[in-house]
Structure 1
């Protein structure tokens, strides 16, 4: 593992899961708090949260498989969410954590929901930030015209082949933080993107819509905090319907007006405050 500086508590490294190397950055000491990014992004997206929560937690920010410097497998099947879940379990084992607070944004939020469903005993608390709520996701994309319109951008991702135009300026256009938008655009330009798009090929419903998916088993048994920027450009507010049917443990919903898909960047202080409040309520902070 390579040092990130003079602070011995901050470093980066890799774990290996089934031949796939998964990169992570970590800072701080204390109980484990894992934060998983989405697309278009990487493990550096949670800078404001790392700075804040590393005061009391070991904050770990993995880089999704398909996103350098993590491995970029060519096999689309390697990007099934169950494999991403395996990556996260490997990281928890690396840090010898019996349980962790696990947060995720966008695709990272979908992966950690799968982790909470498959291995709830590993999850002390779940933080979901503008991510598709899985029990609602399949129905909305398949049957809701509004969400289908919002999901049109994924059709190009699903159809992407290596060598196609990356169109990174269009990919990052909704990142409201100008500096971060430029950072991510450069990351996209310098990285292969077939692995990133494979997450969509393997997991995101595409045309023809109208497929029925049984989500009756998707019931969350862990305490959950949902933070939602109400101007999300990718996900309909209808994702927040029927939460009581799917989240059976204490669950808090925080909606942030005038905020888009990246509330933890756009309103970092407010988001951090809400996370601290929730952790304190659960006696986890």
Structure 2
């Protein structure tokens, strides 16, 4: 088992598979390093794939205090894992909480990031829902503490944007729920309070995002309601960005639609590596409907 030591001394478990240009996968709150198995099996045929368990997720360390969890630290953890694996630059792929980490890593460490895939990002960003999101996050943290992971996992796994996965792939969803039931109570509660509740809205990053030159692919499900508008915002704001929307899909995109997810990410990475993922053509003026002169 390989471990990377972060800047603050926390050790994170990571795994490497395959050879080729590196791809680092960053998991969501409800997942862990196992969440990327459909991607590792596919991409390791031609890429060096790295997965890791975030702080608070066994077998990584579980820091005791909530102050050891933050959005800033989550972004730094991405590049610290890369450094431990001997990787200078990588494509980074994140879902939900991991997608936010990828956005912040691309902003803070653009010289280390070849490209970023941001899937299912946006929770807590909508201005009118920020207070509700923070209240809901605290409820989730208490749910883990009061019911334990085994007791709370079935509730969380049937969230409004998770039932699409359950409907399409009951076996895959059940495995997701079973793994969620093994999460550390302390790690889950601290992650929810330290990272999720405190992270800035994507809209607060507009100035920085508008000048970011890292190639970006935004992926959302059309039934993942609280990611749709933030996803459109990212597309309209980040110069070298593209947007993909999966039909009849919720939040757990890489597991819910693994073949589609792999295909769009593979095409994106191929275009980036070919130097073909540039900024929007200036002739594509969004103010124009049809050219008339």
TM-score (normalizing by structure 2): 0.79
- Offset of residue 227 of structure 1: 1.3
Query: 1:274 maps to what in 2?
Result: 264
Structure 1 pair 225–161 and aligned structure 2 pair: CA distance change class (3 A)? closer
Structure 1 match to 2:186: 194
Unaligned 5+ residue runs, structure 1?
2-12
**Does 1:38 pair with 2:28?**
yes
- The aligned runs of 1:140-155 (5 Å cut-off) are 140=126, 143-145=127-129, 153-155=136-138
What's the TM-score, normalizing by structure 1?
Answer: 0.81
Higher mean C-alpha deviation, range 28-37 or range 236-245: 236-245
Distance 2:144 2:134 in 1: 19
The one of 40, 44, 49 equivalent to 1:59 is 49
Per-residue Cα deviation, 1:140-174 (whole angstroms, up to 9, x for no partner)? 1xx324x7667764231344674554411111122
Q: CA RMSD in A?
A: 2.6
Q: Which has the higher helix share?
A: 2
Alignment equivalent of 1:170, drawn from 134, 146, 155: 155
Q: Distance in 1 between matches of 2:257 and 2:176?
A: 19
CA contact (8 A) 2:122 2:228 kept: no
Question: Which 5+ residue runs of structure 2 have no aligned equivalent?
Answer: 276-293
Give me the whole-angstrom Cα distance separating, in 1, the residues matched to 2:218 and 2:146.
Answer: 37
Which runs of structure 2 are paired with 1:215-254 in the superposition (5 Å)? 215-219=205-209, 220-232=212-224, 235-248=226-239, 250-254=240-244
Distance 1:54 1:129, change over 3 A: same
**C-alpha distance in 2 between matches for 1:49 and 1:236:** 22
Question: Which stretch shifts more, 261-270 or 189-198?
Answer: 189-198
For residues 96-142 of structure 1, what are the alpha-carbon distances to aligned partners after superposition, in whole Å with 9 as ceiling and x for unaligned?
A: 22210001001011111111111111000001111228xxx54x1xx
Is residue 72 of structure 1 aligned with residue 62 of structure 2?
Answer: yes
Shift of 1:80: 1.0
Determine if contact 2:122/2:227 at 8 Å carries over to the other structure: no
**Shift in alpha-carbon separation, 1:87–1:242, aligned structure 2, 3 A:** closer
Q: Structure 1's 83 and 240: CA in aligned 2 closer, same or farther, altered over 3 A? A: closer
Q: Is 1:129 aligned with 2:119?
A: yes
> 2: distance between equivalents of 1:271 and 1:244?
18
Q: 2:87 aligns with which of 85, 94, 97?
A: 97
- Within a 5 Å distance, the mapping from 1:14-53 to structure 2 comes to 14-17=3-6, 18-53=8-43
How far 1:190 sits from its partner (Å)? 3.3
Counterpart Cα distance in 1 of 2:118 and 2:186: 26
Pick aligned residue for 1:182 from 174, 184, 201: 174
Deviation of the 1:191 alpha carbon = 3.5
Do the aligned residues in 2 keep the contact of 1:34 with 1:101 (CA within 8 Å)? yes
- How many angstroms does 1:246 deviate by? 2.8
Cα distance per residue 1:183-232 (max 9 Å; x no partner): 333334333222222222123348xxxx9x84344313200111111111
CA contact (8 A) 2:219 2:231 kept: no
